[in-house]
Structure 1
Amino acid sequence: MKLSFFTFLRGQFSPQPPVVKADLAGKTVVVLGANTGLGFEASKHFASMNPGRLILACRSEAKGQAAIEKLQAATGYTKAELWLIDLADFESVKKFADKFERDGGRLDILVENAALSTRKYEATKDGWEASMQVSNLSTPLLAFLLLPAMIKTAEEHATVPRLVVVASEVHYWTTLEKKILENPDMLKTMASAEYCTEKMMSSRYLLTKLLNIFFVRAFNDRLPSSTPLVIDAINPGLCKTELMREADGIASLFVALLLNIVAFSAEQGSRQLVYGAVANAENPEAFRGQYISACQVTEVSDFVLSPEGVKAQDRLWDELIEILGKVDSRVPAIASQYLSA
């Protein structure tokens, strides 16, 4: 499938359906990036469904606590919890997972709402380009480390947990160039300072969202069909959030114009996250490994489906396991136990 700019604009002006509701009594929901934008609005929707536990995973304690107070004032829900996590720091992700193993109990819904939109190369203390570490390394790392809790929940409570990864329609507008496809170290190369020129960083956000799609599809391909767990990728559309706050110069003017004229509100966009997490409860299998946009399963880009894309997806998966295995030895063990080769 291809996505023209006209089709994108038409989608942005389409009426948005109301948020899907479900009974979350007794269930545990974790939302990453929950202190602002899509994550906060999705958390408000989940709170209205009275979950047993609602964990707001945030980087800043001050901003996270403010979000807890705003959520309670808006919904009356008093059981929201603030847990700290910094996706630009592998140790922080591991500590979050360790805490969940000790204190989290069941895990029914994990919404991985993580992204960094930047046009400037910046390395984390772990040595990775920041936006790739946040979106394409730490996001999968947390998914792997919390996978046993989700499967245990399914077995003990006869339910089907959901792992929701927030992707984007912008994945239609990028591919992997030939020198990456032919490179034995694809992720390492794309995250290197040498590769991250000003030109390459101008489309970095698109790349991270393409890699989100590859991750969801590769994960699902390796998840046995008998495993009661659904992973899906969600497109919230273009929304008025803080994601593009780093835009400057002429780019900032274009972004401001686009946001003011065609963007959804953060609340409208968050309905897609909730849809991926609770919709179609009578047949959750229909969402397995799918890309969901405008509240419907939608075909991914032609590049993702092409022979080159399929090959790249498998190679990216193998490299991801290798990289994350060095970050945390539990990753290959979990992949081996719960996922097929």
Structure 2
Amino acid sequence: MRLSFWDFLKNQWRKQQPVVKVDLAGKTVLVLGANTGLGFEATKHFATMNPERLILACRSQSRGQAALEKLKAATGYSKAELWLVDLSDFESVKNFGDKFERDGGRLDILVENAAILSDKYEGTKDGWELSLQVNDLSTPLVSFLLLPAMIKTAQQHATLPRIVVVSSEVHYWVEIEKRVYENPDIIKTLGSSEYCTNSIMQSRYMLTKLLNVFFVRALNARLGASTPLVVNAVNPGYCYSELRRGLNPIMAFIDHLMELALAFTTEVGSRRLVWAAVSEPAQPETLRGGYISACEVEEVADFVLSPQGVKLQDHLWDELVDILGKVDPRVTANVNQYLSPVAA
């Protein structure tokens, strides 16, 4: 599938569906990046569905605490928990995984919403370009570390947990260059300071959302039809968001004008996250590995479906597991225990 600018405009102008409501009694919901924007609005919706536990995973103690107070004031829900995690720091993510092993219990819904948009190179202490680490390394790392809890939840409570990875329609507008995908170390190349020139960084956010799609499809392919877990990617659409606060002044001004003309509210965008997390309770299998936009499963970009994209997907998966397995050995152990190789 290709997405033209006209298609994008039509998607922005179409009537948006109301939020889906289900009963989450007894269940645990965890939202990454929950203190602001789409994550907070989605958390507000989840709070109205009576979950047993609602965990707001945030980077900042002060902002997270403020979000808890705002959530209680807006919904009356008083059981929300603040857990700290910094996705730009692998050690913080590992500690988050440790905490969930100790204190998490069951996990029914994981919404991986945290992301960074940056148009200039910034390195992390782990040696990666910042947005690549947050959006495409630490996000999968959380999935791998929490995978046992979700499988255990399914087995003990006869449920079908879901992982929702927030991607974007911008994945249609970018491809990985041939000179990169012919390199045996694709992810390492993409995350290096040498590769991340100013011109490359102009499309970096789109690339990270493409990698989100590849990750979801690769993970789903290895879950197997009998594994009690649904993973999907969701496009929240173009809405008001603090995500773009890192843009340079000129791009920020252009984006502001676009928001005035085209964007819908953050709350409307959050409805799509909620839909991916709780909709279709009678036939959740239809959402396995799906790319969800406007509350329906849509075809991904032609590049993803091409022979090169299929080959690239497996290569990216192998490299990702290798990289993250060195960060935390639990990744390798969980992949070997819970996932199956893809047939050649």
Alignment of 1:256-271 (within 5 A): 256-271=256-271
1:281-312 CA deviation, whole Å, 9 max, x = no partner? 00110000000000000000000000010111
Q: TM-score, normalised by structure 1?
A: 0.99
Amino acid at match of 1:200: I
In the aligned structure 2, how far is the partner of 1:260 from the partner of 1:103? 43
* 1:15 Cα deviation after fit: 1.2
- Report matched runs for 1:189-338 at 5 Å: 189-338=189-338
Q: 2:234, 2:293 within 8 Å by CA — same for their partners in 1?
A: yes
Q: Distance in 1 between matches of 2:36 and 2:264?
A: 15
- Give me the TM-score of the superposition, normalised by structure 2: 0.98
Distance 2:249 2:43 in 1: 33
240-249 or 223-232, larger mean C-alpha shift: 240-249
CA distance in 2, matches of 1:163, 1:204: 24
Opposite residue 33 of structure 2, the aligned amino acid is G
| Match status 1:65 vs 2:60 | no
Aligned residue for 2:111, secondary structure, equals strand
Cα offset, 1:250, TM superposition: 2.6
SS at match of 1:138: helix
Unaligned runs of 5+ in 1: none
Equivalent in the alignment of 2:139: 139
Whether contact under 8 Å (1:113, 1:166) holds in the other structure is yes
Shift of 1:260: 1.3
Question: Which residue does the alignment assign to 1:95?
Answer: 95
Q: Deviation per CA, 1:104-150, whole angstroms, max 9, x where unpaired?
A: 11000000002110011011111110000001000000000000000
Post-superposition CA distance 1:124-179 (Å, at most 9, x none): 11111000000100000000000000000000000000000000000000001110
Counterparts of 1:156-167 in structure 2, within 5 Å, are 156-167=156-167
Distance in structure 1 (CA, Å) of the matches to 2:250 and 2:68: 36
CA distance in 1, matches of 2:305, 2:224: 21
What CA distance in whole angstroms lies between the structure 1 residues aligned with 2:250 and 2:24?
45
Paired AA for residue 46 in structure 1: F
Q: Distance in 1 between matches of 2:232 and 2:251?
A: 31
Tell me the distance in 2 between the aligned counterparts of 1:83 and 1:317.
Answer: 28
Amino acid at match of 2:305: L
Tell me the equivalent position of 2:77: 77
CA contact (8 A) 1:29 1:109 kept: yes
Structure 2 unpaired stretches of 5+: none
Q: What does residue 107 of structure 2 align with?
A: 107
Partner of 1:21: 21
RMSD, matched Cα: 0.6
**Residue of structure 2 equivalent to 1:2:** 2
- 1:270, 1:287 → 2: CA distance? 18
Deviations 1:222-278 (A, max 9, x none): 002101100000000011010111222331221000111111111000000000000
In 2, Cα distance between equivalents of 1:10 and 1:83: 38
- Map of 2:40 onto structure 1: 40
Shift of residue 13, structure 1, vs aligned partner: 1.1
Q: Is the 8 A contact 1:292 1:298 kept in 2?
A: yes
Identity over the aligned pairs, expressed in percent?
67
- The whole-number CA distance in structure 1 between the counterparts of 2:225 and 2:253 is 47
Q: SS state of the match for residue 96, structure 2?
A: helix
Q: Give yes or no for contact 1:247–1:255 (8 Å, CA) kept in 2.
A: no
